[in-house]
Amino acid sequence: MSIRIEKRNSQELNVIILNNQNYRIAQKLRRIKGSRWYVNKHHWSIPYSDESLRKLIELFPNKIILVDQSIEMLYKPENKDLLTKIYLTQINGLLKEMNNRLELKGYSTKTRKSYLGHITRLTIHYQSHPIELSQEKIQKYLLHLINEEKKSNSYVNQAISAIKFLYQEVFNKSKPILNLPRPKKERKLPDILSKEEVLQILNSVNNEKHKAILYLVYSAGLRVSEVVRLRISDIDSKRMLIHIRQGKGKKDRYVILSKVALDTLRLYAKKYRPEYWIFPGGKEGSHITERSVQKIFERAREKVGIQKKASVHTLRHSFATHLLESGIDIRHIQELLGHKNLKTTEIYTHVSIESNIQSPLDKLFK
């Protein structure tokens, strides 16, 4: 079902229900103050006001709303958010279809969310359905991201990937979109914490659960998305390994299990008794969220007064760098971090489970 809105006169808007008409729809429309049903025309009318339109969108949040350009009030600056909401109703189905295609092709939840966000922002920027956009307009939008919004090259590259996926996989168009130029990939060096700073942060945490999370992240160089999804069965205390399942790029790998981290994990488990997820979340059957872990780290960093621009991911960077500084071969570090390309690791470096490597966390406590 979709809804078309046309200007009837200076006082009224016609509301035409397409492909459907039933009692429930009528009941909803009656909730708009001043609405009327025209029997001979088989359509409704609502007052010509932004208040009526906002109520209509509120009552039909998942329906496509098509508006006639003769409705001048929609194009006033103060009603920009209203027009945006109307255009977003027009791409709800498109976003669902795109999400389904992404899921079928094995894209992660995080990537799917990012891609859909890029298409939504493109729609809002032009207030037009993406299929109506020319390559010239898309290029102007990308330049807007770079020059006006000052977005990073990696952000713009992801926007291009999202747009290309939409046009090639959903619209079945390719030639013009394939010619979109990509900005050069940036080579930024990550912020690194010294061993002393890492120790300060770890020692500042008193909560057993929070402490176990940060110990595992640093001791094995885990991504935050990996530590939150650890299951009890992933810890192999006999072989001193952690099984990372379907990490970035849908790859499994094993990483080292630090003795110090294992002892901390056992203290936590003895008190909290986790049953499936090592770190369960607030909702039954769920794991702790990535944002919760990020907040744990942020509070610890602020508590010890470290001014560096560091996040929980900085512990992963620091893990790799400290191993490299200890003389561990870069290819071993690449394996531990789960990097497909050695060039990615060359920014700092990673470790191999095949080598007899001791976690840098253990060395801190000797």
- Give the residue numbers annotated as catalytic, written as ranges: 223, 248, 313, 316, 339, 348
Q: How many CA atoms lie within 13 A of 312 on its CB side?
A: 26
Here the tokens at position 62 are: 């998942």
Spatial CB neighbours of 237, under 8 Å, sequence gap ≥ 6: 257, 262
Hey, which residues does 38 pair with through a beta bridge?
Answer: 43
Three-state DSSP string of 20-89: CCCHHHHHHHCCCCCCEEECCCCEEEEECCHHHHHHHHHHCCCCEEEECCCCHHHHCHHHHHHHHHHHHH
- Please, what is the Cα angle at 292 between 288 and 293, to 5 degrees? 90
CB atoms within 10 A of CB 1: 13
| CB-CB contact of 261 with 220 (8 Å) | yes
CA dihedral (16, 22, 24, 26) in degrees, to 10, reads: 40
Spatial CB neighbours of 61, under 8 Å, sequence gap ≥ 6: 89
CB atoms within 10 A of CB 19: 8
| Rounded Cα–Cα distance for residues 104 and 30 (Å) | 41
Hey, which residues does 296 pair with through a beta bridge?
Answer: none
| Rounded Cα–Cα distance for residues 146 and 128 (Å) | 21
CB atoms within 10 A of CB 259: 16
Spatial CB neighbours of 300, under 8 Å, sequence gap ≥ 6: 201, 202, 204, 205, 210, 214
